[in-house]
Amino acid sequence: MEFIIVTGVSGSGKSSAANVLEDIGYFCIDNMPPQLIPKFAELCGDNTNISKVAIVVDIRGGELFLQFWENVLEMRNAGMNVKILFIYADKDVIRRRYKETRRKHPLYDISGGDLDKAIDEEFEILMPIREKSDYCIDSTFTTTAKFKENMLKMFLGNVSDSMMISCMSFGYKYGIPDEADLVFDVRFLPNPFYVAELKHKTGEDEDVRDYVMGSELSEKFRDKLFDMLEFLVPQYIAEGKSQLVIAFGCTGGRHRSVTFAELTNKFLADKGYNVHSMHRDSQK
């Protein structure tokens, strides 16, 4: 049975993640106390009609949530295949979302009605969980449609399969993505931004890719990069890593970074890896 526990920061998109998982066949439950999850998992295991389960667990559980990892370990020690999906966003974005929706933060009352303090306290509680999670999604710069697209790419396959690899592009002017495991700065490569007919296109367009790769420097970097990844990826899989995010950054995140994210995605896909590409800033 595939068992996913969705957790993360309030206002980051956990409900949206559960909706996507439900749409692709997962049996979903929202806001279950962590202590009930092991028993619920046992019940699901006895039901042959349920093969994929997703449960949203978060700070709404109050003090019960503090035993989250104890319950996860109990399930794993019992031989259950449990994966943790952690969703988060920048504090300023979370603050803005709460002000726009006028919803009440789960820690609002115990924080004395101070939204900033409530958000800070939740981050302090949750960040250790994020470090141990199998999958992480940052919704800071992600539209609703893009969030759904990324979820579908990540979970339409079997989460029990080999490590999920995400080839991401980003713009340094918008910040380095927190979830990146490997970051490559490709700002030293030829820049299509200064070519009038290419400026408003992206690295997903063939003529942009041809321009970026039209130098000996680009080809040499590609060959060395692919050689390194061919060595590294099997080591991460052997370690038991569930998700690997390879990020490529250029100035605006539209041309050079997208080109290399796409090239790397194809290279790894041809090698048989479970891989998809994401372009965080290409439409900005």
Q: Is 110 helix (H, G, I), strand (E, B) or coil?
A: coil
CA–CA dist 177, 186 (Å, integer): 15
- Whole-prediction pTM: 0.68
Place of tokens 């569930």: 242
The reported pLDDT for the residue numbered 161 is 55
The reported pLDDT for the residue numbered 114 is 93
171: nearest Cα among 193, 197, 145, 147 = 193
Q: How many residues does the chain have?
A: 284
The reported pLDDT for the residue numbered 51 is 83
CA–CA dist 83, 147 (Å, integer): 19
**Residues of the chain below pLDDT 50:** 160
The reported pLDDT for the residue numbered 131 is 87
Place of tokens 């490590």: 163
Domains along the sequence of the chain with CATH? 2-155 (3.40.50.300), 164-279 (no CATH)
The reported pLDDT for the residue numbered 266 is 97
CA–CA dist 231, 229 (Å, integer): 5
